Amino acid sequence: MFKKTKSVVSIIYTFIRFFFIKLIRWKGFSYSPIERFSPRTMVNLYKKGRLELGKGVRVHSGVRLSITPRAEMKIGDNTAINYNCIFVARKRIVIGRDVTFGPNVVVYDHDHDFRRSKTMNGGKFDDKEIIIGNNVWIGANAIILKGSVIGDNAVIAAGTVVRGTVDADSVAYNKKELCIKHYDR
């Protein structure tokens, strides 16, 4: 009973919240009337940015969605985003239908380009779109970097760093080993 009540409250809260975002960002924001976003989800939709949500998108607490000016983020139907994930679009992030994100997943469509500025935090970026197919599962603590394309029905193992193409119907993982190098004092 408590779980159903919590879901209904979440849907009502999201509806009201999205109504006000829609008033402010009008053409830059589209969504289905029934979405479930935790009240502790941060949505930063900057002027001239675009966020498009499919039907039945579920987002847990601690998630941050940031869409910079002239950037675009599309999230497909029935996508579930677990706790504390971060999505930052400077260009374009497209997520298909029925995608599941584990907790603490990070998706960035850009890198800091420290070579083009005089300081490390000079504000220069190199960006390339990210496309995630349908029915993809992305495990906890995975990192999806700029220019990545993940095919339909792919599985990204927990802790995997993805940069490039992951074929459809495949499992992607990083082989990890602990390396220790001693240094002189």
122: left (phi over 0), alpha (psi -120 to 50) or beta: alpha
Catalytic status, residue 112: yes
Q: Which of 60, 110, 112, 182 is catalytic?
A: 112
Element at 12 (helix H, strand E): helix 2-25
Whole-structure pTM value? 0.85
pLDDT value for 2 = 65
pLDDT value for 24 = 74
Residue 151 pLDDT > 90:
yes
- Residue 9's contacts (CB-CB under 8 Å, 6 or more residues apart) are none
pLDDT value for 155 = 96
pLDDT value for 17 = 72
Class of the domain covering 2-172: mainly beta
pLDDT value for 122 = 60
Q: Where are the domains of the chain?
A: 2-172
- Tell me the CA end-to-end span of the chain in Å, nearest whole number: 61
Q: What are 154-179's pLDDT values in tens digits?
A: 999 999 999 999 999 999 999 877 77
Both tokens assigned to 106: 């990070």
DSSP for 15-63 reads HHHHHHHHHHHGGGEE--S--EE-TT-EEEE-TT-EEEE-TT-EE-TT-
Task: Tell me how far CA of residue 131 lies from CA of 7, 49, 158, 169, in angstroms.
Answer: 29, 17, 19, 15
